[in-house]
Structure 1
Amino acid sequence: MTTTAPLAVPPAPPAEAAAYFAARLAFHTDVADVHAALATGAPGFVLVDTRSRAAWDQGHVPGAVHLPTAELPGGLDPSVPVVVHCWGPGCDGATRAALALARAGVRVKEMLGGFEYWAREGLPVESAAGLRLPDPDPLTVPCGC
């Protein structure tokens, strides 16, 4: 029997896989879950946008706090968890920000997909021009997971 590329390295035993995936969820969250939590009005975390002022001004998540990575920890309350995001999956800005916050004693998660996937999913975007709902990208919506 020929082994296909996905199975060239066999899957981990179930207990190891469960530990890995549980740990991964301790470090990451996604756009849909952040949106749902923000919609409750009491998400239990502060959403921090670490992009530049120019990027923030083009549009940002309503309710997010703007703190570029160079300004972190920026007076955040270390007793309140933080979810950070930058532009998108092709940028390490949120990862660098999460590292800076963790080193400052803040409990932090990174929002996978960043602002790019927030907008691609057609979620609300705020700017000086007001609130708008971008057209959802049919390749990303609906995920259904």
Structure 2
Amino acid sequence: MDLTNQAAHFAAKLAYETDPSDVHTALETGSPGFVLLDTRDRVAWDQGHARGAVHMPKPDMAQRIPAEFAPGTAFVVYCWGPGCNGATRAGLIISELGHEVKEMIGGYEYWAREGMPVDSVLVSEDGSSTTADATLAPDPLTAPAGVRGQRIACDC
């Protein structure tokens, strides 16, 4: 077994991927060192998105990123979930623009399932919008439960 290639493989994955727990922890510090981008369309964003994310669908990235973010800005991208390659496509666009980028594995699905903060956008009949807390209880299959159901870190 070639352990050098094996170590290189896992080091490369960690260089280009992160997970919802690590992203959430970084956002809680107030200076995460990256911009979290939700790459889904408006309907999906309105239904629910990671609190702290910026909405930027893939078709808008080539124009918006150079206009809105300084060179050297790092990004973490997510799309729907593990069955979707939208975040991978977004990562390609952003890296081709010359920015550092990581993909949040599990996407929005695992962010929400792990009980991370979720916001939704409610649009009224007059067209005005309001942001509402749509955070779900942690799914015991994806997030370990602590004492009396309190969420704990998985320490992975």
TM-score, shorter chain, exceeding 0.5 = yes
1:39 Cα deviation after fit:
0.4
Provide the rounded CA distance (Å) in 2 between the counterparts of 1:41 and 1:30: 18
TM-score (norm 2): 0.81
What per-residue deviation string (whole Å, max 9, x for no partner) do you get for residues 55-111 of structure 1?
000111111110000011323333111000000010111011100111111111100
Task: Provide structure 1 residue ranges, at least 5 long, that are not aligned to the other structure.
Answer: 1-11
1:111 aligns with 2:111: no
Alignment of 1:59-78 (within 5 A): 59-73=48-62, 74-75=64-65, 76-78=69-71
What per-residue deviation string (whole Å, max 9, x for no partner) do you get for residues 26-65 of structure 1?
1100010000000000000000000000000011111111
1:136 Cα deviation after fit:
1.3
* Aligned counterpart, 1:91: 84
* 1:42 counterpart (28, 31, 34): 31
Give the percent of matched residue pairs that are identical in Structure 1 and Structure 2. 57
Provide the rounded CA distance (Å) in 2 between the counterparts of 1:78 and 1:141: 36
* Aligned counterpart, 2:115: 122
Provide the rounded CA distance (Å) in 1 between the counterparts of 2:71 and 2:110: 27
Provide the rounded CA distance (Å) in 2 between the counterparts of 1:84 and 1:105: 15
Provide the rounded CA distance (Å) in 2 between the counterparts of 1:77 and 1:51: 23
TM-score (norm 1): 0.87
Which stretches of structure 1, 4 residues or more, deviate above 3 A after TM superposition? none
1:127 Cα deviation after fit:
1.6
Q: How many residues align?
A: 134
Structural RMSD (CA): 1.3
Provide the rounded CA distance (Å) in 2 between the counterparts of 1:132 and 1:77: 31
**Amino acid of the structure 2 residue aligned with 1:133:** T
1:131 Cα deviation after fit:
1.7
* Aligned counterpart, 1:141: 143
* Aligned counterpart, 1:81: 74
Residues 78, 107 of structure 1: 8 Å contact kept = no
Provide the rounded CA distance (Å) in 1 between the counterparts of 2:3 and 2:54: 39
Residues 48, 134 of structure 2: 8 Å contact kept = no
